Amino acid sequence: MNGKPLVSIVSAGLSKFGKREGLYARELFAEAVKEAFDRCPRLEPKRDVKAMFVGHMGESYEHQGHMGAAAADWTGLLNIPATRTEAACASSGAALRSGIYAVLSGLADVVLVGGVEKMTHRSTAEVTEYLAMASDYPFEQWHGITFPGLYALMATAHMHKYGTTETQMAQVAVKNHHHGTLNPKAHLQKEITLEKALTSRPVASPLKMFDCSLITDGASCVILTKPELAGKFTDQPVHIVGTGQASDTIGLYERETLTSLQAAKLAARTAYDMAAVKPENVDVAEVHDCFTIAELIAYEDLGLCKAGEGGKLAESGETRLGERLPVNTSGGLKAKGHPVGATGTAQAYEIYLQLTGQAEQRQVKNAQTGLTHNVGGSGATATVHIYRSNQQ
């Protein structure tokens, strides 16, 4: 595609992330969609929006399936095709891919893409069980392993192979908590010290409480259109110039390596090639830091550093706001929160703000190229998207 825009984002919305008591997922989604509509006054939703894709991981949280129709109902977009996508924690990353397909196919000129999850009304044990459904049932779930355990295996393997340390992982948490303090919609908006991260209670050794992302409620969305139509709706579109998605074995035990996610590497390669972009061209990135080790592995899989050097990159401070390559300026899953179905398009929302100069206290200076990296399960699904500002 030689870096030509595939589709353009003309608006985006995000609900407040956190413990949203007394609200259903559909209400959170309506909150995010209202922001997107309010940001784009030239758009007439009932006239212009021709399709909707909604990332939503599980029916178990609210005993509610059929989320595409429910979301269409509660956002006033009845009569259009509204489809739920499910790819575990990459559900709305997959929804974004579906929206791109819809626009490129010519079947829909304007598409609303988003995601939502309502999780906090359930106990930690229930949420852990529901999330575990994204792993292999007969060979992982049935034996009692959960995602903290699976990522702990990755962390242990990475430490053994490359000398990665618990301190380097903790530095990811400290950075992302700092970024979260600058995001008024983040679940956690408080600084933590390295000592606090390192001395927090164990969850699955070597991972501790501050190595783990949050159980969160939230919703997110973006509005896509053809690049040639973007000027009709906004003077500040953000173009998606690369998209990649790949799959791997659902079971971690089947992988050739525990220190890299092959699906993420393949998705990144596809997106980079399509966008005619190299890793060193990226100005700001949102990566899937469900656990701190996941961010270190993401650095490596995305080519932001060499294999085995993710810990050193975190230790260098270069991924902090104001440094060479800010990563997870939103606070990431670690501090912004991880309402699993909403995460992929929540990442796209942050990049949209960054590339249109609307990120306020966390704005990356002169950001023109952005990247999002969204992972499902222990890496069985991965999506990577490359974004470019209209000024580039």
Structure-token pair, residue 363: 């704005």
What is the C-alpha separation between 145 and 123, in angstroms, rounded? 18
Tokens 């779930």 found at: 141
Pairing verdict, β 238-247 and 207-208: unpaired
**Is residue 103 within 8 Å of residue 224, measured between CB atoms?**
yes
Q: CA angle, 277 as apex, 86 and 376 as ends, to 5°?
A: 20
Closest CA to 351 of 372, 366, 336: 372
89 flagged as catalytic: yes
Q: Any residues with CB less than 8 A from the CB of 366 and at least 6 apart, and which?
A: 283
What CA–CA distance (Å, rounded) separates 103 from 94? 14
Q: How far apart are CA 112 and CA 33, in angstroms?
A: 9
- Do 58 and 85 contact (CB within 8 A), yes or no? no
DSSP category for residue 256: S
Q: Whose CA is closest to 307, among 239, 237, 259?
A: 259
Q: In what helix (H) or strand (E) does residue 148 lie, and over which residues does it extend?
A: helix 147-162
In the residue annotation, 178 being an active-site residue is answered as: no
Residues whose CB is less than 8 angstroms from the CB of residue 133 and which lie 6 or more positions away in sequence, other chains included? 58, 60, 141
> Please, are residues 378 and 258 in contact by the beta-carbon 8 Å criterion?
no
Catalytic residue among 56, 187, 338, 385: 338
Q: Which residues contact 264 (CB under 8 A, 6 or more apart)?
A: 246, 297, 298, 301, 302, 373, 375, 379, 382, 384
Given the structure tokens 């758009």, which residue do they identify? 43
Peptide bond preceding 41 in cis form (omega within 30 of 0)? no
Residue 295, number of CB atoms within 10 A of its CB: 28
Say which of 40, 56, 89, 239 is annotated catalytic: 89
259 close to 297: Cβ distance less than 8 angstroms:
yes
List the catalytic residues: 89, 338
